[in-house]
Amino acid sequence: MHFGPHLLLAALEGLVTSAVLALMALGLSLVFGVMRVVNVAHGEFFMLGAVLAWAISTAISGHPALGFLAALVLAPLIVGAVALFAERLVLRRLNYNPEATIVATIGMLYIIQQLALTFYGPEARPVEPPFSYRILLPWFGYSGYKLSVIAASALLLAATWFVLTRTKIGLIMRATQYDSETAQAFGIPVDRVYAGVFALGAMLAAVAAVLIVPISQAHYLMGQDPLLLSFIVVIIGGLGSLRGTLVAAVLIGLSDGIISVFFSPTLAKIIATLLVAMVLVFRPQGLFGTASR
Amino acid sequence: MHKSKTFDLSKTGLTRRTALKGLAAGAGLAVAPGFVRYSQAQSSAPIKIGFQSHRTGIGAAYGRWYEKTTAAAIKAINDAGGINGRPVEVIIEDDGTDPGRGAEVVGKFATQHKTDIVFGTLFSHVVIGSAPAAGEAKMPYFVVSEGHHVASTKLNRYVFQPGITDVKSQIQAMAPWIAANAGKKVTQIFPDFAFGYDHRDYLPPALKAQGAEVIAQIAIPPTESSFTKYFPQIPAETEVIYHVMVGPAVLTFVKELGEFYGSNRPQLFGFIDSLEATDINSPGLEFLDGSHFWEGSPRYAQPDDSAAQKAYRAAVGIDDNGAAVGDPKDVSTAAHMFGCWETLYVVKKAMEDAGYKGPEDRAKLVEATEALTEFAEGHEHPQGPKTFNGKIHQCFGIQNISKVEGGKLKVVHKTKIEDGLYEPEGDYTTQAL
pLDDT digits (tens, 9 = 90+) for B376-403: 999 999 999 999 999 999 999 999 999 9
ipTM summary value: 0.81
How far does B352 lie from chain A, in Å, by closest CA? 37
Domain ranges of chain B: 47-166+337-397+426-430, 167-304+399-419
pLDDT number for residue B23: 56
How far does A67 lie from chain B, in Å, by closest CA? 15
pLDDT digits (tens, 9 = 90+) for B296-311: 999 999 999 999 999 9
Q: Does residue B35 have a pLDDT over 50? A: no
Q: Which residues of chain A have pLDDT under 50?
A: 293
pLDDT number for residue B359: 93
Asked, colleague to colleague, whether B47-166+337-397+426-430 and B167-304+399-419 share their fold, the answer is yes
pLDDT number for residue A288: 83
Choosing among 3.90.1150.10, 3.40.50.2300, 2.30.130.10, 2.60.120.460, the CATH entry for B167-304+399-419 is: 3.40.50.2300
Measure the CA dihedral B346/B348/B352/B355, to 10°. Answer: 110
Which of A136, A217, A225 is opposite residue B251, by nearest beta carbon?
A: A217
**Residue ranges of E strands in B316-414:** 323-324, 327-331, 374-375, 386-389, 394-397, 400-405, 408-414
pLDDT number for residue B222: 80
**CB-based contact A257 B229, cutoff 8 Å:** yes
How far does B411 lie from chain A, in Å, by closest CA? 27
Give B19's contacts (C-beta < 8 A, 6+ positions apart): none
Describe the strand order of the beta sheet including B292-295 as a list of residue ranges.
Answer: B213-220, B185-191, B240-243, B267-271, B292-295, B400-405, B408-414
pLDDT number for residue B24: 58
**CB-based contact B229 A10, cutoff 8 Å:** yes
pLDDT number for residue B187: 96
Q: Does residue B4 have a pLDDT over 80? A: no
pLDDT number for residue A10: 87
Q: Does residue B7 have a pLDDT over 50? A: no
Contact A118/B at CB under 8 A: no
Topology (CATH) of B47-166+337-397+426-430: Rossmann fold (3.40.50)
pLDDT level of residue B3 (50, 70, 90 thresholds): very low
Contact A265/B at CB under 8 A: yes
What is the spatial distance between Cα A109 and Cα A40, in angstroms, rounded to a whole number? Answer: 7
pLDDT digits (tens, 9 = 90+) for B207-234: 999 999 999 999 988 878 888 888 888 9
Give A123's contacts (C-beta < 8 A, 6+ positions apart): A219, B60, B61, B64, B248, B277
Q: In this structure, how many other beta carbons lie within 10 angstroms of the beta carbon of residue B366?
A: 25
Q: What is the mean pLDDT of residues B105-134?
A: 95
CA B304 to chain centre: 24
CA B251 to chain centre: 22
